[in-house]
């Protein structure tokens, strides 16, 4: 049995399929995106093997590659809104500690390496070119990109970062909460594979509340914002012990928000992103 199709991110399609009384998600894409989807599959598979072997609280659904498509288990659980609205403070503290522990484990699996600053400059410039093709682009947006380039010009030619495993899109919208743990889905390849990207993506939610833009149902904003504030404070406090976080978090977050601009589909989201960029101190 095939359940109705769902539209996924990055132009991919998701089908929920019943297989021997179990539901599985089939992710397919256009041929132009196939190579990238396979990279994401390999990334998620490697993390599944590692987390399953080490029996960690953070988990990844089992996954396989079949007929040029990604095939993984359907996970039953709660969205971050449902979970945070119904959890007590001890639950929130425990979840926060586990997420921090997961990212710290990524860091420990990484190696400190120098990368060329030009990788960041190229990403800003390519994003700038793509943004000009967006329907909601405004000439005033140009200054947002100039600001990033000016800041990058202040950095040395090579910057030192932990390079290794990272999810690539570790937002709350890519987490499922249930009694067995937190399940993370929809891994993305990144222009720099560093755990710093996961901190950036997580704070995209905890500090700027990005994933709430995708929540259609009403929810307790005061409670969710309070939970976000608590998690954000703990993340900042913990990872501030790393020099690379203190030195490069802001510019990576700035570039991260810039990279969403070419894909905005409404004026409201465009303005939301612009306001976030204005708030980030470089």
Under 8 Å CB-to-CB from 27, ≥6 apart: which residues? 8, 12, 13, 14, 37, 69, 70, 71, 72
If asked whether residues 191 and 237 sit together in one domain, one would say: yes
Do 91 and 209 fall within a single domain?
A: yes
Q: Could you give the CA distance from residue 111 to residue 163 in angstroms, rounded to a whole number?
A: 5
Number of domains in the chain: 2
pLDDT digits 0-9 by tens, 24-59? 999 999 999 999 999 999 999 999 999 999 999 999
Question: Whole-number mean pLDDT of the chain?
Answer: 94
Looking at the structure, tell me whether residues 146 and 264 fall in a common domain: yes
Q: Same structural domain for residues 102 and 166?
A: yes
Question: In this predicted structure, what is the pLDDT of residue 19?
Answer: 85
Query: Rounded to whole angstroms, how far apart are CA atoms 34 and 160?
Result: 32
pLDDT in tens, 130-148: 999 999 999 999 999 999 9
- Domain residues for the domain of 13 are 2-73
168 contacts 137 by C-beta, under 8 angstroms: no
Q: Of 246, 257, 167, 168, which Cα lies nearest the Cα of 207?
A: 257
Q: State what percent of residues in the chain have pLDDT above 90.
A: 90
- pLDDT tens-digit readout, 81-96: 999 999 999 999 999 9
Cα–Cα distance measured from residue 225 to residue 228, given in angstroms and rounded to the nearest whole number: 5
**pLDDT at position 10, please?**
56
Same domain for 69 and 135, yes or no, is no
Q: Which residues contact 109 (CB under 8 A, 6 or more apart)?
A: 164, 165
Which among 11, 217, 13 is positioned nearest to 3, based on CA atoms?
13
- Rounded mean pLDDT, 163-168: 95
| Judgement on whether residues 119 and 59 belong to the same structural domain of the protein | no
pLDDT of amino acid 11: 67
Identify the domain boundary among 25, 42, 73: 73
Q: What is the pLDDT of residue 178?
A: 95
238 and 102 part of one domain: yes
Residue that is last in its domain, among 56, 73, 90 = 73
- Residues 84 and 212 reside in one and the same domain: yes
User: Is there a single domain that holds both residue 140 and residue 265?
Assistant: yes
Residues 255 and 121 in one domain: yes
Q: What is the DSSP string of 7-21?
A: E-GGG-EEEEEEETT
The reply to whether the predicted model has a pTM over 0.75 is yes
Q: Which pairing describes strands 22-28 and 70-73: parallel, antiparallel, or unpaired? A: antiparallel
Exposure pattern of 189-220 as b/e (b: 16+ CB <10 Å)?
A: bbebbbbbbbbbbbbbbbbbbbbbeeeeeeee
Instruction: Grade residue 245 by pLDDT with cuts at 50, 70 and 90.
Output: very high
Is the same domain home to 68 and 126?
Answer: no
**Among 58, 73, 88, residue at a domain's last position:** 73
CA separation for the pair 8, 29 (Å, rounded): 9
pLDDT at 5: 37
Quote the CA–CA distance of 131 and 123 in Å, as a whole number. 12
Closest by CA position to 258, among listed 151, 167, 154: 151
User: Each residue of 179-217: pLDDT tens digit?
Assistant: 999 999 999 999 999 999 999 999 999 999 999 988 878
């Amino acid at each position: 049995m095939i359940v109705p199709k769902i539209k996924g991110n990055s132009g991919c399609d998701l089908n929920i399929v019943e297989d021997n009384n179990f539901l599985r998600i089939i992710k397919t894409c256009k041929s132009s995106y196939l190579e990238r989807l396979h990279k994401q599959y390999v990334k998620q598979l490697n993390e599944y093997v590692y987390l399953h072997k080490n029996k960690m609280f953070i988990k990844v659904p089992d996954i396989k590659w079949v007929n040029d498509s990604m095939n993984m288990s359907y996970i039953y659980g709660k969205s971050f809104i449902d979970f945070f609205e119904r959890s007590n403070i001890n639950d929130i503290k425990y979840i926060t500690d586990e997420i921090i522990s997961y990212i710290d484990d990524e860091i420990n699996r990484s190696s400190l390496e120098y990368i060329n600053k030009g990788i960041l400059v190229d990403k800003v410039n390519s994003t700038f070119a793509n943004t000009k093709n967006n329907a909601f682009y405004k000439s005033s947006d140009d200054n947002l990109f100039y600001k990033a380039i000016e800041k990058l010009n202040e950095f040395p030619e090579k910057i030192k970062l932990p390079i290794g495993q990272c999810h690539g899109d570790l937002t709350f919208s890519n987490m499922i909460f249930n009694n067995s743990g937190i399940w993370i889905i929809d891994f993305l390849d990144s222009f720099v594979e560093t755990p710093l990207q996961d901190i950036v993506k997580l704070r995209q939610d905890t500090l700027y509340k990005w994933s709430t833009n995708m929540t259609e149902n009403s929810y307790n904003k005061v409670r969710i914002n309070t939970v976000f504030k608590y998690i954000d404070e703990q993340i900042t406090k913990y990872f501030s012990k790393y020099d690379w976080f203190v030195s490069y978090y802001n510019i990576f977050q700035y570039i991260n928000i810039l990279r969403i601009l070419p894909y905005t589909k409404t004026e409201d989201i465009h303005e939301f992103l612009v306001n976030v960029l204005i708030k980030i101190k470089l």
